[in-house]
């Protein structure tokens, strides 16, 4: 199993450009998440999904949109990138279960907005 | 706002010593988890402790939880250079689903 993968690994954008980050998981997990991590800080939740076709806002959703058209994929979109969105983006997933489960993380996408 | 605050922000020890990291949080929780992040990598789950548990062990890891003080500690015994990483606590308030709120992390350096 590849686990959680993210595409691309690195990207440089100019202010105002748009892009989509792709997260894929092959563990048949119901829940998927997008986080951002800024220097010296922990992760902050941007958006999450509790199943195919559903999405919800996290702690810092402004400037981002998401879609979960297929269970295994969770897309994060930036419609008009801003320098404040320079960050490392992590995707995570976990399974639906009665008990709380750990999250599995992808390797991250390093985004720079000039 | 960050639910968890970790202490210390950075810790440097010698191989073989024990490392203790602390995490405090503000609101009631269902469970608390510890994750590790090597430089430039994603996070890896280490251990989960539920609100009705006080202590858990996993190999060289020992986690305690004091819900009355809203705090947790992670102890790594007999540290190794390979333990060098950032360590994050994360809390969940939910009994199902598992949105996590992360602390700012402790950077641990283990010198050979």
CA distance B104 to B21: 12
Contacts of A43 in chain B (CB under 8 A): 43, 88, 90, 100, 102
Give the model's confidence band at B6: pLDDT under 50 very low, under 70 low, under 90 confident, else very high: confident
Q: What is the pLDDT, as a whole number, of residue B2?
A: 43
Work out the pLDDT band at B1, boundaries 50, 70, 90.
very low
> What pLDDT does residue A12 have?
97
Question: Which of B57, B53, B91, B90 has its CA nearest to residue B76?
Answer: B57
CA atoms within 13 A on the CB side of A44: 16
pLDDT > 80? residue B87? yes
Q: pLDDT tens digits for B33-82?
A: 999 999 989 999 999 999 999 999 999 999 999 999 999 999 999 999 99
Residue B30 near chain A (CB below 8 Å): yes
Q: What is the mean pLDDT of residues B16-27?
A: 95
Mean pLDDT on B69-97? 90
pLDDT at A111 over 70: yes
Flag whether residue A45 sits within 8 Å of chain B, measured between CB atoms. yes
The answer for A 79-108 residues in CB contact with B (under 8 A) is 90, 92, 94, 98, 100-108
Q: Is the backbone of residue B78 left (phi > 0), alpha (psi -120 to 50) or beta?
A: left
Q: Is the pLDDT of residue B107 over 70?
A: yes
Q: Is pLDDT at B9 greater than 70 in this prediction?
A: yes
Chain A residues within 8 A of B104 when measuring between CB atoms: 40-42
Confidence of residue A99 (pLDDT cuts 50, 70, 90): low
Percent of chain B with pLDDT over 90: 79
Select from A38, A54, A50 the least CA-distant residue to A90: A38
> Residue A2 has what pLDDT?
82
Mean pLDDT rounded to a whole number for chain A: 93
pLDDT value of position A40: 77
In chain A, residues with a C-beta closer than 8 Å to the C-beta of B96 are 98, 100
| Residue in A42, A90, A107 nearest the CB of B2 | A42
């Amino acid at each position: 199993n590849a686990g959680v993968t993210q595409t691309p690994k690195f990207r440089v954008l100019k202010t105002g450009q748009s892009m989509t980050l792709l997260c894929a998981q092959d563990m048949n997990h119901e829940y998927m998440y997008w986080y951002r991590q800024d220097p010296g800080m922990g992760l902050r939740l941007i958006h999450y999904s509790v199943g195919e076709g559903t999405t919800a806002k996290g702690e810092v959703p402004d400037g981002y949109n998401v879609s979960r058209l297929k269970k295994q994929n969770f897309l994060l979109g930036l419609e008009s990138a801003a320098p404040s969105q320079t960050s490392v983006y992590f995707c995570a997933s976990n399974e639906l279960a009665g008990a709380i489960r750990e999250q599995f993380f992808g390797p991250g996408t390093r985004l720079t907005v000039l | 706002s960050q639910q968890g605050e970790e202490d210390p922000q950075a810790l440097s020890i010698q191989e073989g010593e024990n490392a203790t990291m602390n995490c405090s949080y503000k609101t009631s929780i269902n469970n608390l988890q510890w994750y590790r992040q090597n430089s430039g990598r994603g996070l890896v789950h280490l251990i989960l402790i539920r609100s009705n548990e006080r202590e858990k062990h996993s190999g060289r890891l020992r986690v305690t939880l004091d819900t009355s003080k809203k705090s947790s500690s992670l102890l790594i015994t007999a540290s190794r250079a390979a333990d060098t990483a950032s360590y994050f606590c994360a809390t969940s308030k939910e009994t199902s689903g598992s949105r996590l709120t992360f602390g700012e992390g402790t950077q641990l350096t283990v010198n050979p």
